[in-house]
Amino acid sequence: MKTDNQKTSAAIPMGRPSLEPASDGCVTRLELAALLHVSVRTVDRMIAAGEIPVRRVRGRAVRFLRADVDRYLGGGVR
């Protein structure tokens, strides 16, 4: 039985991010970093330099369209 002092926390999955495209066709910064084998900070630098198209959602959060990521990986964006 739980008391008022016990907090229930949601399980947060740990481990590697899924590299499968999300159902909405977007990729997060963490997923992009894993795909490119770079740090999230490097992804942030890529965003600042305009090296890859980005979509801003909910304030500072960003997403990358899977089609843009595929084009970047294929050498179409630089």
Q: Domain ranges in the chain?
A: 26-73
Of 66, 68, 67, residue with least CA distance to 51:
68
Q: What is the DSSP string of 7-74?
A: PP------SSPP-SPPTTSEE-HHHHHHHHTS-HHHHHHHHHHT-S--EEETTTEEEEEHHHHHHHHT
Q: What is the pLDDT of residue 13?
A: 47
Q: What are the residue ranges in the chain where pLDDT is below 50?
A: 9-14, 17, 19, 21, 78
Q: What is the pLDDT of residue 24?
A: 73
| Rounded Cα distance, 35 and 65, in Å | 13
Q: What is the pLDDT of residue 41?
A: 97
Q: What is the pLDDT of residue 75?
A: 75
Q: What is the pLDDT of residue 11?
A: 47
Q: What is the pLDDT of residue 57?
A: 87
Q: What is the pLDDT of residue 12?
A: 44
Cα–Cα separations (whole angstroms), residue 11 to 14, 20, 32, 42: 9, 21, 23, 28
